[in-house]
Amino acid sequence: MMKKSSAEFYGQKGVTILELLLSMTVFLIGIAAIYGVTRLATIQKNTVNSRTDQLRSARIALEYIRRDGLNAGFGFHRTGGNIPDNAGNTLFNMPADTDTQRDFMTSVMAANNVNSNLLNFGGYTDAVIFISRDPSFNSGALVNYTGAAASGNAVNVTTAANACANCSVFDVYLFESSSGTTQMMGMLTTKNSSSSVQFSPGDPLGLNQSATGSGDAQSLLVTTAGGGTIKRVNIVSYSVTSAGVLVRKKYGNQTGLLASQQIETRELVYGVSDFQIKYYMEDGTTVDDPSLANNGRTNQIKMNSVVQIQVSITLASDANDSQPKVTTPVVIKEFISTKNLRYEAS
């Protein structure tokens, strides 16, 4: 077979540098377009997934709030329990009230616009507190106490024989006098025996008053004659941190934990730009805070006239620099009955 001579290829052209560069440019533009479309699809998918997770967390949080709201007042006293002046205001980050009287801790407590929020510039969010009897304590049975006496500035409470076998340090209790006229809150600080427990001032929640104080600063346990009953109670609150995290806090009853660990904080939802509570009253009115910032016993007792609450959670964008910003906020609302507030404790 004869080979073609090099002369036969003479005059045929190859690919020039310009053509090569042009081809590469077109190729790179195509790759960039494909990458852009793929990246956008990935970002959109991540954004949708993030928002879906956020919505799911918000609905779970609302279920927690609904459950605690429905339980509020269960087994608790219809009026509430006496606590030191401004103890609740300090514990729940509310402004101090203007008097020096003891305060009431009611089944529902309101804190209106008390927390700043970095996701809502210049905006403030609410907090809400729910209190109910703990039915799991002592197999549901009440603890009967027979008397109380001062021991220095602490108060020693004597119960029926072995009645406080299930009591634990840092339990939170509601005391109800046998006369039915006095109720007070307290946190157990020392368990002397299964029939003797002590309540000292300086407890982690600031609920105990001194036995040697005077007037409204003295413990009602030593000024109220006779005995009565003791119930362990659950105190929980819902609020939003300045970083936009909706949290549930549980106060006391953390058996075996240190004093500094008696407020348990659980993060529920991230990216919350607003958290608002409205209270529907027996007289048909709707208010942001029936207690007027927990100011004075007369206003605090108004919380017992709440028949329903409306919880509103506003979700901000969970976007970062690599994701598109969702400009439309999502608001989720829930209406919760507080039917237990209208029943006497049992």
Q: Determine the pLDDT at residue 268.
A: 97
Q: Which is it for strands 154-159 and 246-251: parallel, antiparallel or unpaired?
A: unpaired
Q: Determine the pLDDT at residue 224.
A: 84
pLDDT tens digit at each of 346 positions of the chain: 555 555 555 555 666 888 778 878 887 887 887 776 666 655 554 454 456 888 999 999 999 999 999 999 999 998 999 999 999 999 999 989 889 999 999 999 999 999 999 998 778 999 999 999 999 999 999 999 999 999 999 999 999 999 999 999 999 999 999 888 899 999 999 999 999 999 999 999 999 999 999 999 999 999 887 899 999 999 999 999 999 999 999 999 999 999 999 999 999 999 999 999 999 999 999 999 999 878 888 899 999 999 999 999 999 875 444 455 545 789 999 999 999 987 654 4
Query: Is 140 exposed, middle or buried, given 0-12, 13-18 or 19+ CB atoms closer than 10 A?
Result: exposed
Query: Is 219 exposed, middle or buried, given 0-12, 13-18 or 19+ CB atoms closer than 10 A?
Result: buried
Outline where DSSP puts E strands in 24-153.
81-83, 103-105, 108-116, 124-133, 143-151
Query: Is 220 exposed, middle or buried, given 0-12, 13-18 or 19+ CB atoms closer than 10 A?
Result: buried
| Side-chain-side CA neighbours of residue 41 (13 Å) | 6
Angle subtended at Cα 242 by Cα 127 and Cα 253, rounded to the nearest 5 degrees: 50
Three-state DSSP class for 52? helix
Pick from 70, 116, 130: which is nearest to 275 by CA?
116
Q: Determine the pLDDT at residue 41.
A: 57
Which residues are within 8 A (CB) of 190 and not within 5 positions of it... i.e. 6 or more apart? 154, 169, 197, 198, 200
Cα–chain center distance at 274: 14
Which residues are within 8 A (CB) of 151 and not within 5 positions of it... i.e. 6 or more apart? 198, 211
Q: Determine the pLDDT at residue 208.
A: 98
**Does residue 309 contact residue 291 with C-beta atoms inside 8 Å?**
no
**Does residue 189 contact residue 154 with C-beta atoms inside 8 Å?**
yes
Q: Determine the pLDDT at residue 5.
A: 53
Which residues are within 8 A (CB) of 182 and not within 5 positions of it... i.e. 6 or more apart? 82, 175, 176, 220, 224
Q: Determine the pLDDT at residue 321.
A: 45
Q: Determine the pLDDT at residue 318.
A: 56
Q: Which two tokens stand for residue 8?
A: 């036969």
The helix or strand, by DSSP H or E, that contains position 243, with its residue range, turns out to be none
pTM of the model: 0.84
